[in-house]
Each structure stands twice: as structure tokens, then as C-alpha cells.
């Protein structure tokens, strides 16, 4: 479905604006954020163009294309409504809230860096990638589906499947000869069958899991607000793993990138194993017991330790800093 990325402000509003400024916390590295967001040319839900990030959001029921850039002085981000039309106060706040959550800008990183500076392994990573924050997935359905897609396949093929899924069920907005996409809502899969997803090269099990998740979320049986209201990430994980097709790795990935639990620990993650193998200069991937022992000093910040270890697998592109 193609929708126009436009949202006219209330004609009676005197608070409409065409851009929003978000003050940046310390430390924050926009360069590191760009490196992570640029990790796949197959990414379909945002586009990195030089030092700008383009992202289509649904705000107040309408599609808005926003451009994110670092303001002069590097002390803030500027969000610009790329269609040139101003947004209401609510639209501006919604855009700022999304980006703040997406880039984890409300996180106080002081305890993490204090912990890291005393650690022989994490200390170097924290120094090399200072200001790196976990790029999240604010929407629970998107986070769950992306995690299910990524089960037991390489990252390149996972991006291919996501692109096919979004093109089949998401909404598209065209702007200046480019396509921008919104991730499907659970209700967008109403009437879809497992065979439809299998035609996109989903396995039968993954197709069934995605449709089950869509039904559960569309009915309200599972929601992000409901999981967060539990006040217990372990209980949230138990509720997620009670869903057929959702295991501990998937649940912890969602805890990490959507529920924003800094202690989430996807210990079975293949990229984590590869990063540790290279970092520790071992011939084989470390055993689970060895990984748990290694992570013991990082208790409470396992998610950030994992994210910084992932970063070692994505070297900065050549050329000047951007």
C-alpha cells in the first residue's frame, strides 16, 4: 500500500514546526550510530545518506518522513520533516520520542563506563567505541518478527527476508524518487496464511510463529506496555518463551532491543560467539560456561557488553570520520 508522507498541522495551532531539536547526552557518538545503522545495504526501514538518516514514521495516524542529522557543535540532533510541511506539537513530540528511544538517549551510561574502565576486556571496547549506544527496535511486533527471522540464518539472508516481508505487508511512501517503508502492523497480516510467508522463503515454523505473534498482538494478549508493566524482565521473558517458536535467545534479543533491559543476555548469539573467539584469539568458539564466567563482572550490563562485542565485527568504513 502506498501512502503520501504528509501531515498538515492544525490550522488553529501556533505551535507547528518543521524541525525538532533533541539535546544529546554525554557520551553519545553519532558516528558510531551511523556505523551501526549502515551495516546492511539491504536495510529497508531507514536509509543512511552520508551523515543523514532518513526514517518513515507513522505519527498521529499519518506517514511522516523525517531526516535526522547532527546539529552543529555535536550537542544535539536535529529532526526535520523531510516533506517540508510543519507538524503539530504532538507530531514533533512523537518524532522526538521515537528517536530518543531508538538511539537509547535517555540511558545514563555512567555506571557502564565506570564498570568498563576497571575491566581488561571491556575497558578497551568502551574506549574504542565510546558513545556507542544500543540502537533499539521500539515496536514490539517488529522486534519479535525480526528476531524470529534471524533465527539460525546469516545476517545477509535475514535482511533479505525482512525486505520481502515488509514489501509484502508494509506500507510504502514515495519521496524524491525513493521508496520508504513502514513495518507491518499485526493487523496487516489478517487473512495471511503460512504458505504466503513460505513463498517469501520463510520456513514453515517461522511463518507459523510470525502469524501467531500477529494474532496475539492484534488481540491484545501480548503488548509492549503489558510486558513492561510486569516490572520484571525475567517474567517478561517467561511470557515470551511460552509462545511456541520463541526461545531464550529470541526473548533476550527482544528484552535487549525493545524492552531496553540492560541485563538482557542473548548468550546463544552466534555473532557474540564469533566476536569472543576473535577477541580471545581462540581456535574455537567459547563454551557457554566460559561465556557466563567472562560476563560475571559485567552483571547488569550484559546487553551493552554484547552490543560492544558485536561492534568489533563491524569495523568503521574507510575514509574520514562522518
pLDDT at 218: 97
pLDDT at 1: 47
pLDDT at 11: 34
Sign of CA dihedral 179, 180, 182, 184: positive
pLDDT at 321: 34
The continuous run of DSSP H or E covering 171 comes out as strand 171-175
Closest CA to 222 of 247, 242, 193: 242
Same fold, 1-106 and 140-257: no
Task: Point out the residues that are catalytic.
Answer: 269
pLDDT at 319: 37
Closest CA to 290 of 311, 269, 267, 313: 267
pLDDT at 15: 63
pTM of the full predicted structure?
A: 0.92
How is the chain split into domains, by residue range? 1-106, 140-257
pLDDT at 87: 85
Domain spanning 1-106 has what CATH number? 3.30.310.20
What's the rounded Cα separation, in Å, for the pair 202 and 158? 10
In the chain, which residues have pLDDT < 50? 1-14, 318-322
Name every residue whose Cβ is closer than 8 Å to that of residue 113 and which is 6 or more positions away in sequence: 27, 126, 130
What's the rounded Cα separation, in Å, for the pair 34 and 69? 10
What's the rounded Cα separation, in Å, for the pair 105 and 3? 30
Q: Can you list the pairs that 299-303 forms with residues at least 24 positions away whose Cβ atoms lie under 8 Å?
A: 299/263, 300/111, 300/262, 300/263, 301/111, 301/112, 301/115, 301/262, 301/263, 302/262, 302/263, 302/264, 302/265, 303/134, 303/255, 303/256, 303/261, 303/262, 303/263, 303/264, 303/265
Which fold, 140-257? Answer: Endonuclease III; domain 1 (1.10.340)
What's the rounded Cα separation, in Å, for the pair 257 and 91? 24
pLDDT at 86: 82
pLDDT at 316: 54
Amino acid at each position: 500500500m502506498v501512502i503520501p508522507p504528509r501531515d498538515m498541522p492544525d490550522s488553529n495551532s501556533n505551535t507547528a514546526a518543521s524541525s525538532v531539536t533533541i539535546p544529546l547526552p554525554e557520551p553519545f557518538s553519532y558516528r558510531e550510530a551511523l556505523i551501526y545503522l549502515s551495516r546492511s545495504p539491504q536495510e529497508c526501514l531507514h536509509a543512511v545518506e552520508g551523515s543523514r538518516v532518513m526514517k518513515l514514521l507513522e505519527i498521529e495516524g499519518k506517514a511522516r518522513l523525517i531526516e535526522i542529522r547532527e546539529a552543529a557543535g555535536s550537542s544535539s540532533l536535529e529532526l526535520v520533516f523531510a516533506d517540508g510541511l510543519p507538524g503539530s506539537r504532538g507530531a514533533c513530540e512523537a518524532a522526538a520520542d521515537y528517536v530518543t528511544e531508538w538511539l537509547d538517549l535517555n540511558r545514563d551510561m555512567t555506571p557502564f563506563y565506570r564498570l568498563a574502565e576497571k575491566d581488561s576486556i571491556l575497558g578497551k571496547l568502551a574506549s574504542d567505541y565510546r558513545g556507542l549506544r544500543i540502537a533499539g527496535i521500539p515496536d514490539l511486533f517488529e522486534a519479535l518478527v525480526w528476531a524470529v527471522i534471524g533465527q539460525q540464518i546469516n545476517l545477509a539472508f535475514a535482511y533479505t527476508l525482512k525486505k520481502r516481508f515488509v514489501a509484502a505487508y508494509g506500507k510504502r511512501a514515495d519521496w524524491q524518487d525513493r521508496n520508504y517503508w513502514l513495518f507491518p502492523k499485526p493487523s496487516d497480516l489478517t487473512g495471511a496464511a503460512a504458505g504466503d510467508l513460505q513463498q517469501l522463503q520463510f520456513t514453515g515454523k517461522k511463518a507459523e510463529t510470525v502469524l501467531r505473534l500477529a494474532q496475539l498482538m492484534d488481540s491484545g494478549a501480548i503488548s509492549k506496555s503489558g510486558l513492561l508493566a510486569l516490572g520484571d524482565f525475567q517474567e517478561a521473558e517467561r511470557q515470551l518463551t511460552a509462545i511456541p517458536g520463541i526461545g531464550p535467545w529470541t526473548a533476550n534479543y527482544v528484552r535487549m532491543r525493545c524492552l531496553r533491559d540492560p541485563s538482557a543476555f542473548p548468550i546463544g548469539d552466534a555473532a557474540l560467539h564469533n566476536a569472543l573467539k576473535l577477541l580471545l584469539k581462540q581456535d574455537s568458539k567459547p563454551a557457554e560456561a566460559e561465556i557466563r564466567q567472562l560476563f560475571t563482572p559485567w552483571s547488569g550490563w550484559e546487553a551493552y557488553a554484547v552490543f560492544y562485542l558485536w561492534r568489533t565485527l563491524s569495523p568503521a568504513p574507510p575514509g574520514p570520520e562522518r
